[in-house]
Structures are given as structure tokens and as C-alpha cells.
Amino acid sequence: MLGWSINLFRIFGIQLAMHVSFLLLLLFAAWEGWMGAGLAGIGWSVGFVLMIFFCVVLHELGHSLTARRYGVRVPRILLLPIGGMAEFDRIPRQPSAEFLISIAGPAVNLALVALLWPLRSHAIDPNETGIPLAFSEIGNQLLYVNLVMGGFNLIPVFPMDGGRIFRSVLATRLTYLRATYWAAMVGKTLSIMGALIMVFLFQHYLGAILFGFIFMAADSEYRQVLRREEEAVYWAELARRVAGTGAGSSPGQWQGQPPPLIHGPN
């Protein structure tokens, strides 16, 4: 599914791409604008979506450029209707590196909030169409968007930015696998809570779907890390046996690590 994308252009050598489903978001925005204010509404609604995703691209560039300082290759940034995704060839296991890479995106949003703060307006917009009549009103909208984007991404819901920050902190005290396990468990629990809040408190079903996606992503990433750990142990054991030592534990097992997610920690 992620292969259904359209390459746009390169920025800092990173390919910016748009998933085909993003076109549906633009069509929906155009329809909403047309129903609200005709042609002017289409221009404002589609333009505002593009302004939001300009901020999304800056957010992902924050992650990407910081990651490249640690030798991580970033082939592309993919725009989806639910946001953006920077694709890394690997995630550094050093806690400090993951912390800085993860916090860089929300830091960009908070920096944009600081830049937009002087442009905010306290006036009530009398325009019934919902189309901003002044640049300060656009500044208000973008300030709010970046404040929500930065704050939401700092929630410790793995594998969102806040969840990765949480894992990096845990990894200073725990093994990488155990840190991933607990970050995923907390993230999945908060995802369930978030989905329930979205459905029963706000009747926001798209938000509930987003939390469902985050839940599945947390479980998937934990299992990937677990599989890599098992493979590393297997090949290390095989190498010892070939060398004739016969030392160590059996392939695929180790001491002091949690078993697969469905069984819980030791």
C-alpha cells in the first residue's frame, strides 16, 4: 500500500512523495469548501490543508536532518492523509540519538508556534464563510495547528515521537528489547484509551481509526525488534558452535529478556 505514491520533488536530497490517498483528502477539502463558500471556499479549504502539510513536512525534516547527523539514511518523506512519515533505513539504538531524533519533529512545531505568536489576533472573526479575512487570522489557525501537532506527538504513545522518547529514556536503564516492550505496552494501552475517548466522548471515528493504526504499529515494531534479537542470538550461537566452543544458551533464547508480547514480561 505504501508503494502507491507519487514522487513530488527532493528537499535536502530527500525525496518528498505523496500517497495516492492524499488526493482523496484534497477532494474532500475541496467539497467542504465548495459547500461552505463556493469557489472561494475551495481555494481556502484546499490551501489550508496544504499549509498544514507544509508544517508536517517541516516536522518530518526535523526528524530526518537530525537522523542524518547520526549516519541514518533517509530515502523519502511520505505524505499520508493522517500525516507524514519519514522513512529511515534504521533506528539508532543509542538512547541519546533516538531521543534527539524523536524530539526534533515536535521541536520544529514549537519553534513555528514561537514564530507565529506575534502574528496572532485576538479579534473574533465575523466572516460567516469561515474564510480568514486577515493574515493574522491565518496565523491564528497555523499557530493552533502547530501547537496541537507538537503537543500530540509528545504523548508517550509508541511508536509516535513521544513513545520513542519514552523508549530512549527506558533504554538508559533497560535492554533495548525490554525498553521497546514497555514502550509498546504503554503505547497500546494509551491507544485503546484514546480510541474509546474519540468514539464515546467526541464521536470522532477518524480519530479512533488513527489510534487503532497506532496500536497495530506499536505491536508490529515490537515484534520486529524481538525477531531481530532472536536472529542475532541464533547466529551468535551458531558462530560459537562452528568455532567449537559450544558455550551459551540455545538458539532463539536468552536470559533476562521478556518473552513474546502475548505472554508478558518475566
Query: What are the distances in angstroms from CA 176 to CA 25, 46, 87, 92, 218?
Result: 38, 43, 21, 11, 15
Average pLDDT, the chain: 86
DSSP string, 216-245: HHHHHHHHHHHHHHHHHHHHHHHHHHHTT-
99-145 pLDDT, tens digit per residue, is: 999 999 999 999 999 999 887 766 555 455 566 656 667 888 899 99
What is the rounded CA–CA span in Å between residue 88 and residue 104?
A: 15
Task: Say what percent of the chain tops pLDDT 90.
Answer: 63
| Together in a domain, 56 and 85 | yes
| Together in a domain, 54 and 171 | no
| Together in a domain, 138 and 172 | no
| Together in a domain, 132 and 164 | no
Q: Which of 95, 125, 154 is the last residue of a domain?
A: 154
Residue 65, Cβ density class (10 Å: 0-12 exposed, 13-18 middle, ≥19 buried): middle
- Provide the domain limits for residue 110: 1-154
What is the Cα Rg of the chain in Å? 22
Q: Which of 154, 178, 199 is the last residue of a domain?
A: 154
Q: Choosing from 32, 60, 230, 231, which is the catalytic residue? A: 60
Query: What are the distances in angstroms from CA 179 to CA 5, 151, 190?
Result: 33, 23, 17
Q: Which of 154, 169, 190 is the last residue of a domain?
A: 154
- Is residue 87 annotated as a catalytic residue, yes or no? no
| Together in a domain, 1 and 126 | yes
| Together in a domain, 145 and 168 | no
Q: Per-residue pLDDT for the chain (266 aa), expressed as one digit of tens each?
A: 556 889 999 999 999 999 999 999 999 999 988 887 788 889 888 999 999 999 999 999 999 999 999 999 999 999 998 889 999 999 999 999 999 999 999 999 999 999 998 877 665 554 555 666 566 678 888 999 999 999 999 999 999 999 999 999 999 999 999 999 999 999 999 999 999 999 999 888 888 988 999 999 999 999 999 999 988 888 888 888 888 754 444 444 444 444 333 333 34
Number of domains in the chain: 2
Per-residue cell: 102 = 524523536
CA 107 from chain centre, in angstroms, equals 14
| Together in a domain, 13 and 138 | yes
| Together in a domain, 179 and 126 | no
Helix-, strand-, coil-residue percentages of the chain, each rounded to 5: 65, 10, 30
